[in-house]
Amino acid sequence: MDMNFFILMKPELLLTGLIFIIMFAKIANLAENNGRFLILVNTLLVLNFVAGFFMNQEGTLFSGMYITSDSMAFEKNILNGGMMLISLMAYDWMMRCKNTPEYYMLLLSAQLGMFFLISSGNFLMFYLAMELATIPLAALSNFDLDRPKSSEAAFKSIMSSAFASAIMLFGLSLMYGTTGTLDFAEMQMLVTGSSLQVLAFIFVFAGIAFKLSLVPFHLWTADVYEGSPVPVTATLAVISKATFIFVFMSTMFTVFANFFMVWDKVVMISIIATITIGNFMAVRQTNLKRVLAFSSIAQMGYLLLGVASTSVQGASSVLYFMLIYVFSSVAIFAVVGLIFYQTGKEDVADLRGFYKNNKLLSWVMAVALFSLAGIPPTAGFFGKYFLLTSGAAKGDYIVLTVAILNMIVSLYYYLRIVKAMFIDKSENDFERISVSPIVTVSIVVCIAGVLLTGMSGEVYEQIKSLFLASN
Amino acid sequence: MSDSLALLLVPALPLAAFLLIFLVGRVYFPKFSGILGTVIMLATTVISMATAYKYFFVTGKVDGVYQHLIAFKFTWLPFSENVSIDMGAIMDPISMVMICVVTFISLMVHIYSLGYMKGEDRFAIYYSYLGLFTFSMLGLVLSTNIFQIYIFWELVGVSSFLLIGYYFDKPSAVAASKKAFIVTRFADAGFLIGILVLSYYTGTLDFETMIARLTVPGSELTAITTAGFLGVSALTWGLMLVFMGGAGKSAMFPLHIWLPDAMEGPTPVSALIHAATMVVAGVYLVARLFPIFAISCPVGLDVVAYIGVFSSMFAAIIACTQTDIKRVLAYSTMSQIGYMMFALGVAGYGGENGLGFTASFFHLFTHAMFKALLFLGAGAVIHYVHSNDMRDMGGLRKHMPVTHIAFLIACLAIAGVPGFAGFFSKEEILTAAHNSNPIIYWCAIATAALTAFYMFRLYFNIFWNKEYHAHHSDSHHGDDHHHGEAPWSMKAPLIILALLSIATGYIPFGNFVSSDGQALHSEFHLTSAILPVSLAIGAIIVAMLFYRKKNAVPDKIAGTIKGVYTGALHKFYIDELYLFVTKKLIFGIGGTIAAWFDKNVVDGVVNFSATVGENFSDTLKKMQNGKVQSYAMYFFTGVLGFVLLFVFLWDKF
């Protein structure tokens, strides 16, 4: 084992190191003082994020079990950045929590699973990493121990994902049965498109679709998002979704590349169902977190457009949009979390008159929501535009039409939130929400991201060069 | 000053005004914001006029042909090697005419609002929105890139939304702003798809390149004309979808339903946005892509022509029956834009055939003057009477002499009475129509007569008819008859615009704007003017007989043609039709598929987009019952569905 090992696996090793540091801090009773502990953890997360940008190499390890490339390193950086922002924005809430070391240990374990998932080159690795990325998050859903809804969320999450895993495992075993290998590269050669393999593919697809909350595998999403603590919801909605869209893209492009004729159709149907049903359900919701849950479902549909285009442009549009999605969503969840933990309010209607005493937070929400809705000049608009263009380049006009019409529907519920905050009057004034400096930093970073990513073409160019280089 | 600097300043100054007033002025110097905005606007107007002058008389013409110059352009977002989104400013006759119109009318409205909006709570906000709108509109007309135009197109929509909803405590204003936003968004979705189609086949978003590739035979042109969908070529689809966006902004039938409601905004805003500038954006868009329409897709041009002439006549009929003076003007605007549209539609590319193109822009120019004047005059009247309804008015000529004369001049101009600006531009349009299509020509003649009739119906009802006496019952408006006609800030724009409503007609427009850049000398045929002019004068006389003195004739006439009259009074039930289609038909079809869907249909809700959404999601909600075991069942059903479809059925197709 040479230096190569340490450099290639750097992101995972750093995370493992972090987990151990936190564990020792807990054992050595260094975590008694919550404030000091949080400063330590957040500093480490920032360092970890910064370290992600240096010394990245492409290569494989363990005879193809572990793969890394420039685009994967970039994906991991997005996850690191997202994790850091969520941790910063949850600072006020964490200060009041007990058992913070456990929270971070579980969280970072899940992230470790996600990293391995992105880098996996073998279905065995893939499955193990997927479980590692799922189970700690289910436990975290129960972190608001005194709220029954939180326990309900955890229970639903673990039961549903067990079911999805079982189906997926069945699919994997069928793939193994027909090809005799679990290695991605080898399997790619042996995929023939027989009926049994189509069946196996659909099972595997359903497993990933469950994680991505594609319709009709999405039903767990709203309940779990609503019940989980807000930072955990943010992790599920942002980090977990980002991971699985990357993984979906890389497996579709490698293992199932010869299977394109089938998975293209499957994905097209999913896109139409996901965008439409996600949007129409979101229209219906009154609970803010549930609105966001369904909106995130619909956004996944748009991302799939880029995946299905199977072009460099499509792939880079996916990464670009994901980056914007991270910024916008974290900003929204930051505000939602502040409101929820300081006032207990979580309905859209409760936000009436919010603007009066919380001008800054209102604008943050408005900008981030505009970005999700795809209203120019926010970055979200360009993200969506690039995704749609890559879809257009492939010629899926029916799907595109559905997607564009749905953008109009989505305006309704995004603007409803904005309207409640800015325009609707309420009898009682909405109290002033206090925001600590650390949370402000994360919000400012997010909003700057939402605006700057859209304004500068550099970011997109940079992402595209990652894919061009590796091809 | 170099052109690039000047054209950078032209949109940048209003933007600066917006930011300055919105961020600082609103809090620290709300009263002064109006003056500040007006001064900045004055500077912008001077710069754009000087730039246009320099273009038309010094730099623009090379060998007798006006050039398309790019003042500046930088790549903003590179999408792929060939396709990039640029930001830039184009200099050609139509963009130069547009910046003059936009800045000048905006300046007039800025000055006028100093008096009209005085004492409003959100005075500074109002001026900041005006700045935002002017910036967006200037960015739109200067666009070098179809995507740049789309971005500013949306920004214009947003500022229009903000200004319509300016009186946000009035539910009707909020509803109107929402309606305008939704209808134009719907049209813009078509526009975006159109952009995607055109840019996909041409591999560019740049106007110049796109026009070059789609007018000269080459691989792109072959590809886009051979590819088709439902038997129509991709080029036609693309252009028609782009036109859909234009029709939405320009209130062409059947996307016009937002314009009359948009009159809920403050009256100067109606003058600026919904009469002179934003609503002609659709005309501008078609003119921008005109070579493609004219050379490669004549079918598309026919569609533009027929939609234009139909909207024109349709709106004129409705205008004859409305009693809200601003709504009369709104329908008249729609009718006149229809004129501009069909003028483009009957035009060809180059030489004499391009007369319609010139005429369209000539009419756009003169119409901006007299229609802004009509709205500002109507604003002065409303300011005085505190009502929009012409039944509350009458005999105002003695109370408001300046407004009266200005309004009369504008009415004569729009009616096409010789000597006034509207006569010249309308005559040119009619000549162009006469040379190409008899159906359109006769419809246009009929519309011209209707126009004269409803404008003078409006005029006599406001200024003659019965004697005016203030409503004494309105105690809080008790001091009405003490305040005079209007402050000078309101009268001055009226006088300036009234002079221009005469003078602009004498500009030899063909020298400046033509389809191919070469000067076009249109001959004026006295004989062809006899029919429309005598019809217009006849219509004015009829209006005078009906409305100069209060009498029973109009009611009797309305009684005899009851069907048409009530139809027109209710705007031919287009709004109801929309509600019917969205509520009954769309849901009705859904209802046959699933019977329980039906009960939501009958109930129906007012806002159609919300209704569609809420009913559909109602049924979806049944899936989401909170039981984890049923989630698993749906999951499994989904898997099974895919398996059935792809393992067993797919090959059979």
Give the tens place of pLDDT for each residue, B240-266: 888 888 888 888 887 888 888 888 888
Answer whether residue B2 shows pLDDT above 80: no
> What tokens were used for B239?
């252009």
Region B307-333 average pLDDT: 86
Region B458-470 average pLDDT: 76
Percent of chain A with pLDDT over 90: 28
Task: Find the range with the poorest average confidence among A76-90, A174-188, B49-63, B168-182.
Answer: B168-182
3-class state of residue B518 by DSSP: strand
Contact A202 B632 (CB under 8 A): no
C-alpha distance from residue A237 to each of A82, A137, A212, A245, A329 (Å): 11, 11, 9, 12, 8
Region A71-94 average pLDDT: 90
Complex ipTM, two decimals? 0.74
Task: State the pLDDT at residue B167.
Answer: 82
Is B650 part of the contact surface with chain A (CB cutoff 8 Å)?
A: yes
Task: State the pLDDT at residue B580.
Answer: 59
Region B310-334 average pLDDT: 86
Distance from the Cα of B191 to chain A's closest Cα (Å) equals 11
Task: State the pLDDT at residue B404.
Answer: 87
- Residues B535-554 as b or e (16 or more Cβ within 10 Å = b): bbbebbebbeebbeeeeeeb
Among the partner-chain residues A199, A404, A423, the one whose CB lies closest to the CB of B193 is A404
Contact A206 B229 (CB under 8 A): no
Q: Tell me which of A202, A217, A311 to substitute to probe the interface with B (most B C-beta atoms closer than 10 Å).
A: A202
Using the 8-state DSSP alphabet, how is residue B392 labeled? G
Chain B: residue whose CA lies nearest to A263: B646
> What tokens were used for B534?
């005598």
Contact B639 A202 (CB under 8 A): yes
Is A461 part of the contact surface with chain B (CB cutoff 8 Å)?
A: yes
3-class state of residue A245 by DSSP: helix
Distance from the Cα of A14 to chain B's closest Cα (Å) equals 35
Q: Which residues of A touch B633 (CB under 8 A)?
A: none
pLDDT band at A208 (very low <50, low <70, confident <90, very high): very high
Task: State the pLDDT at residue A189.
Answer: 86
Among the partner-chain residues A222, A284, A461, the one whose CB lies closest to the CB of B78 is A461
Is B619 part of the contact surface with chain A (CB cutoff 8 Å)?
A: no
Residue pLDDT, tens place only, B53-87: 888 888 877 777 888 888 788 877 776 667 777 88
Task: Find the range with the poorest average confidence among B24-38, B589-603, B630-644.
Answer: B589-603
Region B183-188 average pLDDT: 82
More confident residue, A373 or A2: A373
Task: State the pLDDT at residue B262.
Answer: 81
Distance from the Cα of B484 to chain A's closest Cα (Å) equals 36
Most confident range (mean pLDDT) of B168-177, B357-366, B458-467 is B357-366
Is A284 part of the contact surface with chain B (CB cutoff 8 Å)?
A: yes
Is B646 part of the contact surface with chain A (CB cutoff 8 Å)?
A: yes
Is B649 part of the contact surface with chain A (CB cutoff 8 Å)?
A: no
Percent of chain A with pLDDT over 70: 99
Answer whether residue A114 shows pLDDT above 90: yes
Single out the residue of B130, B91, B89 nearest to residue B107, CA to CA: B130
Contact A408 B186 (CB under 8 A): yes
pTM for this prediction = 0.59
pLDDT band at B351 (very low <50, low <70, confident <90, very high): confident
pLDDT band at B594 (very low <50, low <70, confident <90, very high): very low
Task: Find the range with the poorest average confidence among B351-365, B527-541, B602-616.
Answer: B602-616
Q: Give B 52-91 residues with CB within 8 A of chain A.
A: 75-80, 84-85
Among the partner-chain residues B80, B609, B618, the one whose CB lies closest to the CB of A284 is B618
Task: State the pLDDT at residue B563.
Answer: 63
Chain B: residue whose CA lies nearest to A286: B614
Task: State the pLDDT at residue A391.
Answer: 83
Task: State the pLDDT at residue B567.
Answer: 64
> What tokens were used for A292?
């966001």
Task: State the pLDDT at residue A277.
Answer: 86
Q: Which residues of B touch A281 (CB under 8 A)?
A: 617, 620-621, 624
Q: How many residues does chain A have?
A: 471
Task: State the pLDDT at residue B579.
Answer: 60
Is B171 part of the contact surface with chain A (CB cutoff 8 Å)?
A: no
Task: Find the range with the poorest average confidence among A419-433, B53-67, B351-365, B576-590.
Answer: B576-590
Residue B289 near residue B242, CB atoms below 8 Å: yes
Contact A156 B631 (CB under 8 A): yes
A/B interface, count of CB pairs below 8 Å: 133
Answer whether residue A132 shows pLDDT above 90: yes
Q: Tell me which of A220, A275, A280, A397 to substitute to probe the interface with B (most B C-beta atoms closer than 10 Å).
A: A280
Is B638 part of the contact surface with chain A (CB cutoff 8 Å)?
A: yes
Among the partner-chain residues B186, B189, B200, the one whose CB lies closest to the CB of A393 is B200
CA pair distance B305, B309, nearest whole angstrom: 6
Task: State the pLDDT at residue B559.
Answer: 66
Answer whether residue A404 shows pLDDT above 80: yes
Is B640 part of the contact surface with chain A (CB cutoff 8 Å)?
A: no
Task: Find the range with the poorest average confidence among B20-34, B96-110, B319-333, B405-419.
Answer: B20-34
Task: State the pLDDT at residue A446.
Answer: 92
Q: Which residues of B touch A375 (CB under 8 A)?
A: 154
pLDDT band at B479 (very low <50, low <70, confident <90, very high): very low
CA pair distance B353, B339, nearest whole angstrom: 17
pLDDT band at B588 (very low <50, low <70, confident <90, very high): very low
Region A248-275 average pLDDT: 86
Is A412 part of the contact surface with chain B (CB cutoff 8 Å)?
A: yes
CA pair distance A287, A348, nearest whole angstrom: 6
Contact B614 A284 (CB under 8 A): yes
Contact B635 A163 (CB under 8 A): yes
Task: State the pLDDT at residue A443.
Answer: 92
Q: CB count, 10 Å around CB of A176?
A: 15
Q: Give B 217-236 residues with CB within 8 A of chain A.
A: 229
pLDDT band at B473 (very low <50, low <70, confident <90, very high): very low
Contact A392 B200 (CB under 8 A): yes
Which residue do the tokens 């009957």 mark?
Answer: B346
B565, containing H or E segment: helix B562-569
Region A373-389 average pLDDT: 84
Distance from the Cα of B493 to chain A's closest Cα (Å) equals 34
Task: State the pLDDT at residue A470.
Answer: 57
Answer whether residue B533 shows pLDDT above 90: no
Single out the residue of A103, A349, A81 nearest to residue A230, CA to CA: A103
More confident residue, A240 or B397: A240
Among the partner-chain residues A216, A262, A401, the one whose CB lies closest to the CB of B193 is A401
Contact A284 B189 (CB under 8 A): no
Is B170 part of the contact surface with chain A (CB cutoff 8 Å)?
A: no
Is B205 part of the contact surface with chain A (CB cutoff 8 Å)?
A: no
Answer whether residue B566 shows pLDDT above 90: no
Is B186 part of the contact surface with chain A (CB cutoff 8 Å)?
A: yes
Task: State the pLDDT at residue B481.
Answer: 46
Region A120-135 average pLDDT: 92
Among the partner-chain residues A156, A217, A375, the one whose CB lies closest to the CB of B638 is A217
Task: State the pLDDT at residue B522.
Answer: 67
CA pair distance A421, B166, nearest whole angstrom: 17
Task: State the pLDDT at residue B591.
Answer: 41
Contact B617 A159 (CB under 8 A): no
Q: Which residues of A touch B77 (CB under 8 A)?
A: 382, 457, 460
Residue pLDDT, tens place only, A148-157: 888 888 888 8
Contact B75 A206 (CB under 8 A): no
Is B189 part of the contact surface with chain A (CB cutoff 8 Å)?
A: yes
Contact B632 A313 (CB under 8 A): no
pLDDT band at B569 (very low <50, low <70, confident <90, very high): low
Is A204 part of the contact surface with chain B (CB cutoff 8 Å)?
A: no
Q: Which residues lie below 8 Å from residue A116, measured CB to CB, with a gap of 6+? A: A12, A66, A125, A128, A129, A132
Residue A236 near residue A175, CB atoms below 8 Å: no
Task: Find the range with the poorest average confidence among A242-251, A457-466, B54-63.
Answer: A457-466
Residue B188 near residue B147, CB atoms below 8 Å: no
Task: State the pLDDT at residue A332.
Answer: 92
Distance from the Cα of B220 to chain A's closest Cα (Å) equals 15
More confident residue, B577 or A402: A402
Single out the residue of A307, A297, A294, A363 nearest to residue A332, CA to CA: A363
Distance from the Cα of B532 to chain A's closest Cα (Å) equals 45
Residue A104 near residue A22, CB atoms below 8 Å: yes
Q: Give B 94-113 residues with CB within 8 A of chain A.
A: none
Task: State the pLDDT at residue A15.
Answer: 92
Residue pLDDT, tens place only, B190-224: 888 888 888 888 888 888 888 888 888 877 777 77
Answer whether residue B415 shows pLDDT above 60: yes
Answer whether residue B460 shows pLDDT above 50: yes
Contact B609 A266 (CB under 8 A): no
